[in-house]
């Protein structure tokens, strides 16, 4: 998730590029850079940190006369946050400059092949490989048009991209291309902008063309042409943006939280891409290579995390124990660090953190390291402290999460824990057939999530109908117990009502005393191995006149008849149901908070990243 802006026209490019990229800052970034081309050649500057740091470095932007240029704000996926890793990336001769959003999956192979033909690389990024690949085509065929070199290079690439290319030898052209990473073209008078997001072009034009996957565009100050990668021309409809700047940043959603809930299918695709290998029934976790042996021989896994990340860890425990037969302990990091944990030979420690900066998780990690335990992390923010201090790790690639209440980071962490369970399982007793079935079921989840998001309207109605309740009980069993805890946590966070998550089997040991007609229960009751038990619990609640909102499997008429409100989710393998069942709970918390007029993106008293104890 990076910001990209390109400009070609009659005006000076740099001030327009800077203005545009600042409107993408909400996406999160860690470094920025630009390249502009003029008669003096290509001029480029990069800086680590916010765009303001780049501006300091630039000084007076009028010093750069180029009328064509590209700018990028990076949210790292490959390589640490350094100036060398910041975009745009160039080829060996500084001719071809590239700003890219997405992941080039086969970049290692490409780099190896290009290094053999004499290319030298200056960054650890996947993007740089593509700049050199484009260069390679221009070397092989002198005089080749830049757009053709880009097209040929893209035919050799596996992965996702939204990209813009600047060529010193064709200063009157920008080449843009898209595959699974958004890109649009803003059409002005005698000028064009390219951007990863409408908010970057709004100041200059409201007329845009959205590129679709597998399309590329060539822009000159006078005209634009769009083709697919087989050189077939594409007729593109012109759209008029009707959003304000703020609406555009939220992609048309009313809040970041809602946008991020809807981004979950894509976040899971990003977590699985290049890692899940259904045909081999395996998961390739490149980031764990350095601890591979110790993990393979691990006798116990200790997970420490906070808040929602902790609850992802609790789902992971069920998955890892079921698939890999490895004992897993999960602890809130703030307890773990102070309870004198006992470590044994064969222990491996896992920290889970969206931000990679949570103080307690970091302290727990340091405690484990001090005791000589091998450590690894599941982290979203590349180059964060936890990512740096663990021996190895798996990045989530979920994109920036802006809403304080975590949503897409949770499901992405659960998906990665599923990959881990598969990988460790296959090193142990999970057979090839079982592994293949697991992988096939997991690969279907993004699509099933998209279908689950169809409950949006229904959940909004239910939240409105429940608006006067002051207490909620969330109940689940087995894989869905942590989901019940997460549902209650979400509701507390964004709507400030009392909500408790409980294992349904524990209900008789206390919570049932609270049940009456003013105390609703949200029951996660998919058709799974504990379905009958959940039905009994729901009957017990109904017998005490407690209102019930059930999350049930599509087609479950029995549940529809018992519960007051039933939200149906698609059928999925039991182990992956948490990735679906959590969605209505996130939406319920969101709409309940909105219904009460709360600032759901920035709930009172909460912070996105808790860097103090
Ligand atoms: C805060 C946030 C939560 C998050 C928790 C852990 O409490 O509000 O949404 O789950 O910190 O954060 P981490 O960045 O370590 O996942």
**Tokens found for residue 374:** 């091998």
Peptide bond into 445 cis (omega under 30): no
Phi, psi of 197 (to 5 degrees): -160, 140
Q: Residue 308: CB within 6 Å of ligand 1?
A: yes
Range with the poorest average pLDDT among 10-14, 136-140, 250-254, 273-277: 250-254
- Identify which has the larger pLDDT, 230 or 612: 230
Burial of 223 from C-beta contacts in 10 A (0-12 / 13-18 / 19+): exposed
Q: Please give the Cα distance from 558 to 269 (Å, whole number).
A: 33
- Say how many Å lie between the CA of residue 511 and the centre of ligand 1: 27
Radius of gyration (C-alpha) of the chain in whole angstroms: 25
Which residues, at least 6 apart from 547, have a Cβ–Cβ distance to it below 8 Å? 466, 469, 517, 519, 520, 521, 564
Nearest CA to ligand 1 atom 7: 307
Q: What is the pLDDT of residues 423-482, one digit of tens each?
A: 999 999 999 999 999 999 999 999 999 999 999 999 999 999 999 999 999 999 999 999
Q: What is the pLDDT of residues 95-141, one digit of tens each?
A: 999 999 988 999 999 999 999 999 999 999 999 999 999 999 999 99
Residues across the chain? 613
- Name which of 414, 415, 355 is nearest 388 in CA terms: 355
State the pLDDT confidence band at 39, using cuts at 50, 70 and 90. confident
Nearest CA to ligand 1 atom 5: 307
Q: Residue 354: CB within 6 Å of ligand 1?
A: yes
Model pLDDT, residue 28: 66
pLDDT surpassing 80 at residue 1: no
- Say how many Å lie between the CA of residue 305 and the centre of ligand 1: 9
Atom of ligand 1 nearest to the CA of 386: 15
- Say how many Å lie between the CA of residue 407 and the centre of ligand 1: 10
State the pLDDT confidence band at 612, using cuts at 50, 70 and 90. low
Q: Please give the Cα distance from 92 to 70 (Å, whole number).
A: 18
Choosing from 257, 307, 602 the residue with most ligand 1 atoms within 8 A of its CB, the one to mutate for a pocket test is 307
- The structure's pTM equals 0.80
Summarize the confidence of residues 566-573 as an average pLDDT. 98
Question: What is the overall mean pLDDT for the chain?
Answer: 94
pLDDT surpassing 90 at residue 242: no
Phi, psi of 177 (to 5 degrees): -150, 155
**Tokens found for residue 557:** 């008429």
Q: Residue 404: CB within 6 Å of ligand 1?
A: yes
- Say how many Å lie between the CA of residue 316 and the centre of ligand 1: 17
Q: Is 2 a catalytic residue?
A: yes
Q: Can you state the percent helix, strand and coil of the chain, rounding each to 5?
A: 40, 20, 35
In the chain, what percentage of residues exceed pLDDT 70? 99
């Amino acid at each position: 998730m990076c910001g990209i802006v390109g400009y070609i026209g009659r005006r000076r490019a740099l001030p327009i590029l800077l203005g545009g990229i600042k409107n993408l800052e909400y996406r999160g970034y860690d470094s920025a850079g630009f390249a502009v081309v003029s008669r003096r050649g290509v001029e480029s500057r990069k800086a680590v940190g916010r765009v303001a740091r780049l501006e300091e470095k630039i000084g007076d932007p009028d010093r750069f006369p180029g009328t064509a240029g590209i700018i990028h704000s990076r949210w790292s996926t490959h390589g640490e946050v350094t100036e060398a890793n910041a975009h745009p990336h160039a080829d060996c001769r500084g001719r071809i400059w590239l700003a890219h959003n997405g992941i080039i999956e086969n970049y290692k192979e490409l780099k190896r092949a290009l290094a053999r033909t004499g290319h030298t690389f200056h960054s650890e990024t996947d993007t740089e490989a593509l700049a050199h690949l484009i260069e390679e085509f221009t070397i092989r065929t002198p005089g080749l048009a830049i757009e053709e070199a880009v097209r040929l290079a893209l035919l050799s690439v596996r992965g996702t991209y939204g990209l813009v290319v600047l060529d010193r030898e064709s200063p009157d052209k920008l080449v843009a291309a898209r595959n699974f990473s958004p890109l649009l073209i803003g059409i002005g008078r005698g000028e064009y902008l390219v951007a990863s997001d409408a908010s970057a072009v709004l100041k200059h034009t409201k007329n845009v063309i959205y590129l679709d996957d597998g399309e590329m565009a060539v822009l000159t100050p006078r005209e634009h042409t769009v083709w697919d990668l087989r050189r077939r021309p594409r007729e593109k409809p012109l759209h008029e943006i009707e959003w304000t700047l703020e609406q555009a940043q939220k992609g048309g959603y009313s809040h970041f939280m809602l946008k991020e809930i809807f981004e979950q299918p894509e976040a899971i695709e990003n977590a699985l891409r290049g890692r899940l290998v259904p045909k081999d029934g395996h998961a390739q976790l490149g980031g764990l290579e350095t601890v591979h042996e110790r993990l393979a021989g691990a006798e116990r896994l200790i997970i420490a995390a906070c808040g929602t990340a902790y609850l992802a860890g609790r789902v992971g425990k069920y998955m890892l124990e079921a698939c890999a037969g490895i004992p897993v302990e999960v602890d809130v990091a703030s307890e773990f660090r102070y309870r004198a944990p006992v470590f044994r030979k064969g222990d491996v420690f896992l920290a889970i953190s969206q931000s990679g900066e949570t103080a307690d998780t970091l302290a727990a990690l340091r405690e484990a390291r001090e005791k000589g335990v091998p450590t690894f992390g599941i982290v979203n923010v590349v180059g964060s402290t936890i990512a740096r201090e663990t021996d190895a790790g798996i990045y989530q690639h979920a994109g920036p999460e802006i809403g304080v209440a975590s949503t897409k980071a949770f499901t992405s962490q659960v998906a990665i824990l599923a990959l881990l369970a598969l990988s460790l399982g296959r090193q142990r007793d999970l057979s090839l057939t079982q592994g293949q079935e697991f992988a096939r079921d997991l690969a279907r989840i993004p699509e099933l999530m998209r279908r689950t998001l169809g409950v949006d309207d229904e959940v909004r109605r239910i939240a409105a109908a429940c608006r006067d309740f002051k207490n909620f009980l969330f109940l689940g069993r087995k894989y869905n117990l942590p989901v019940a805890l997460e549902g209650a946590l979400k509701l507390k966070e964004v709507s400030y009502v009392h909500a408790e998550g409980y294992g349904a089997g524990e209900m008789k040991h206390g919570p049932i005393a609270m049940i009456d007609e003013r105390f609703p229960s949200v029951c996660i009751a998919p058709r799974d191995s504990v379905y009958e038990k959940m039905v009994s619990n729901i009957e017990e609640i109904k017998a005490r006149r407690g209102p019930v909102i059930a999350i049930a499997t599509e087609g479950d008429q029995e549940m529809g008849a018992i519960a007051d409100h039933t939200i149906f989710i698609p059928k999925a393998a039991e182990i992956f149901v948490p990735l679906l069942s959590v969605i209505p709970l996130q939406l319920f918390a969101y709409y309940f908070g909105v219904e009460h007029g709360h600032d759901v993106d920035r709930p009172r008293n909460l912070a996105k990243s808790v860097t103090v104890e």
